[in-house]
Structure 1
Amino acid sequence: MHLPSPQQLRYLVALADHGHFSRAAAACAVTQSTLSAGIIALERQLGVALLERGPLKRPVFTAIGLSVVDRGRAALRALEAVVETADSGRAPLSGPLRLGVIPTIGPFLLPRLMPALRAAHPRLRLWLREDVTARLAEDLEAGRLDLLLLALPAALHGAETLAVAEDAFLAAMPEGHRLAGESTVPMSALAAERLLLLEDGHCLREHALDACRLSAARETEGFSATSLHTLVQMVAGGLGVTLLPRLAVEGGVLAGTALAVRPLDEPASRTLGLAWRSRSPRAAEFRGLAEAVREAIGAAPA
């Protein structure tokens, strides 16, 4: 039996991921003709048609082709795991590490975390991807990312998670706001305010509503933001109040604004944690990173 080569499987998976021959070829650093020839050779070797041939420029996979793509993706992940196992045996936390981080953590924690990791693990090559939780979860499951730094709980299929720290929510409002005169903001008082939150798709929205036991119906209709910096500017403009994670406040999200932040009278927080594929051979390394993340979270800037 002649087995497919890893390169042939990479070509096939890249074509499925990119949905376009030229983009798939660019992702594999080969010419389009090389990629096409590799897939044709794979079809001949397997004795089945993986793609439908016709006038359409975009690739259309046959039913068996889609199954082979799924098997090929799993095979490539298994081969990568072989290399990762060998790498971790030679020198833990060395070589490439593809880290995904959500936007409400990355800009505020990475400036503290990255220098510490470079100093402690000089042979570690960290590649970063910032995106919302749902897309990072897809990339983790597909093997495009190795590790996630996110807020828990999260919808993660086939992943192991490790809670690292709690990140308290703070109420933020203009300095002249009636709640700014309070040492702590009563949770019940937020129900009477125009509450501004991030738009759908950002897990911070759901975590804030759940942690503070607020209903989405109490939000200001038609008002939402795509980032914490935009959210802060909306509050500074007098459009309402919001809930911000302490990590972002300590990370400088309020810079250049005249906002007041106050703790809530009832503790409310989100859980920050790490996530990786449950069968990753680097699981022990990832657990070892938890302490570095905890220290970075606790190292508030002066």
Structure 2
Amino acid sequence: MTLTELKYIVMLAEEKHFGRAAERSYVSQPTLSVAVKKLEEELGAAIFERSKSAVYITPIGTQIIAQAKRVLEQANMIKELASSGQNQLKGPLKVGAIFTIAPYLFPFMIPALQQITSGMPLIIEEDLTENLRPKLRNGELDAIIVALPFHEPDVVTQPIYEEEFVVLMQKGHAWAQLDEIQTDQLTTDNLLLLGKGHCFSEQVLEACPLINEAEFSDGRTIVNGSSLETIRYMVASGLGVTVLPKSAVTNIDRSLLDVRPFAQPAPRRTVALAWRASFPRPKAIEAVSQSIRDACKKLDL
């Protein structure tokens, strides 16, 4: 039994597809398949059930995979402990962030981090919260930047800043004559939001409870987009309006778009930094935390 084999079964359990698991493990599919089969034979237990179209985890496999994750986490801690004796601000730090934070925060955060650490490099990954969560737990990421609420055992979550939501509309839109927008106005135009899986859309709908398909008038509806940048282009074309975090409107084209705040109390989100409680580079975490705070000043948050 090797750590590599344990990593393969964890990847396969997450992806439930040999091809995708092999791709994430940077090996060929036959290599991963042979390794998984070899481990099952060594243990004398079937970890997975295989069919032509799907991979299922057996009951005993669920227990084995849970233990494998713990073993991998402990093994990763050994590497981190070894490196912690060195300069904590020297080696690369693996940081993840959700799609609605990364493109707007990092351009201001990275220069601040460089000043604090004199050059600590970051390995950055953008993804959904549900995908960043397991990567933080198994050591693929050292820290993640997410919106609250976020709860995970043995993970420290530090709120960093609050960010109000704003309304983005096409230049010349009737709402541009207003100083602020009421949440119930959103049902009177097409509302463009991110698609399923993005927590920001869920936060918008939660903060503006009047928004549901039944409330929209004159054929207006909710339109889903794949990214905030794509949604901005659709708004600029006149398809409708959208709600964005304030940081996402820092560099918009004011010749095409207008921004208005919500009436108080404006909907908002709290952004936090999360890391494993056992992570042995606290100085690196503090540097990232401080660089986010410094970036907020530039973003006027």
Q: TM-score range by the shorter chain?
A: 0.7 to 0.9
User: Shift of the alpha carbon at 1:109?
Assistant: 1.4
User: Shift of the alpha carbon at 1:15?
Assistant: 5.1
Change beyond 3 A, Cα 1:224–1:160: same
- Structure 2 residue aligned with 1:293: 292
User: Shift of the alpha carbon at 1:149?
Assistant: 0.9
Change beyond 3 A, Cα 1:257–1:223: farther
Change beyond 3 A, Cα 1:261–1:17: closer
Show CA shifts across 1:224-272 (max 9, x none). 211112212222222222212110111x2x2375111112221422111
Residues 19-58 of structure 1 mapped to structure 2, 5 A cutoff:
19-20=17-18, 24=22, 27=25, 36=34, 40=38, 43-44=41-42, 46=43, 48-50=44-46
Counterpart of 1:95 in 2: which secondary structure?
coil
Matched, 1:145 2:144: no
Question: Quick one: which of 121, 128, 135 aligns to 2:131?
Answer: 135
Query: How many positions carry a matched residue from both structures?
Result: 294
Counterpart of 2:123 in 1: which secondary structure?
strand
TM-score (norm 2): 0.79
Q: 1:35 and 1:292 mapped to 2: Cα distance?
A: 43
Counterpart of 2:221 in 1: which secondary structure?
strand
Give the letter aligned to residue 173 of structure 1.
M
Matched, 1:165 2:161: yes
User: Shift of the alpha carbon at 1:273?
Assistant: 1.3
Q: Is the contact between residue 173 and residue 261 of structure 1 (CA under 8 Å) also seen in structure 2?
A: yes
- Structure 2 residue aligned with 1:264: 262
Change beyond 3 A, Cα 1:144–1:161: same
Q: 1:132 and 1:289 mapped to 2: Cα distance?
A: 20
Show CA shifts across 1:38-73 (max 9, x none). 9637854x5x24557999799876644443332122
**What are structure 2's unaligned runs of at least 5 residues?**
none
Matched, 1:6 2:3: yes
Give the letter aligned to residue 264 of structure 1.
F
Show CA shifts across 1:128-178 (max 9, x none). 211122222232234332211122124645532111111121122222222
**What are structure 1's unaligned runs of at least 5 residues?**
none
Question: Quick one: which of 100, 105, 109 aligns to 1:104?
Answer: 100
- Structure 1 residue aligned with 2:77: 81
Change beyond 3 A, Cα 1:49–1:215: same
Show CA shifts across 1:110-142 (max 9, x none). 122223323433563422211122222232234
Give the letter aligned to residue 248 of structure 1.
A
User: Shift of the alpha carbon at 1:77?
Assistant: 0.6
Percent identity of paired positions between Structure 1 and Structure 2: 32
